């Protein structure tokens, strides 16, 4: 099963595509989608929408795993900006008729590391190890996206048992 994990962000959206078969996962492609902070919000979300749509068309995932919005009381604006990106990603997935699944970050962390409050570094090390990579993949946005895809693969594998 091809699973595309997406870590939504207005400035940087990370993505990671894996192929999952049983308990094994293989990295197919990973990267980031950027929007220009100098552009107006409508142009930024339009670019994210277009790039995610093209990514889905090019990679053909069977499911997209997307991080749910979270809000920290010290940074409420962050969740609003993330929501803009997340909304157009949901629209792109729906318009491509791909299954969309949503996971909170704490559930992903627990599924990947065993701890719902794992650090970014722990997540990066664990994802790197699970995919059998020699070095950590890209920025943390990529690692988070890959963690989403791997966690969804595990959910699917357990539903089959």
Q: What is the pLDDT of residues 60-118, one digit of tens each?
A: 999 999 998 766 667 677 788 889 999 999 999 999 999 999 999 899 999 899 888 89
The residues spanned by each domain of the chain are 2-160
The residues annotated as belonging to the active site are: 7, 67, 141
- What is the model's pTM? 0.93
Q: What is the pLDDT of residues 50-73, one digit of tens each?
A: 999 999 999 999 999 999 876 666
Over 80: is that where the pLDDT of 25 sits?
Answer: yes
Q: Of 96, 105, 2, give the one whose Cα is nearest residue 52.
A: 96
When the candidates are 3.30.420.10, 3.30.460.80, 1.20.120.450, 3.20.20.220, the CATH number that belongs to 2-160 is: 3.30.420.10
- Adjacent-strand bridge partners of 2: 19
């Amino acid at each position: 099963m091809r699973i595309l994990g997406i870590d939504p962000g207005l400035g940087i959206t990370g993505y990671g595509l894996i192929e999952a078969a049983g308990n094994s996962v293989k990295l197919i492609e990973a990267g980031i989608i950027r929007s220009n902070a100098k552009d107006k919000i409508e142009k930024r979300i339009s670019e994210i929408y277009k790039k995610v749509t093209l990514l889905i068309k090019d990679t053909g995932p069977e499911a997209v795993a997307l991080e749910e919005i979270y809000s920290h009381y010290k940074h409420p604006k962050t969740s609003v900006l993330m929501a803009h990106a997340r909304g157009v990603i949901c629209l792109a997935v729906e318009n491509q008729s791909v299954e969309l699944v949503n996971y909170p970050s704490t559930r992903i962390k627990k599924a990947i590391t065993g701890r719902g409050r794992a650090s970014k570094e722990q997540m990066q090390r664990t994802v790197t190890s699970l995919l059998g990579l020699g070095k950590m993949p890209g920025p943390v946005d990529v690692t988070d996206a890959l963690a989403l895809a791997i966690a969804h693969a595990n959910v699917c594998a357990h539903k089959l048992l």
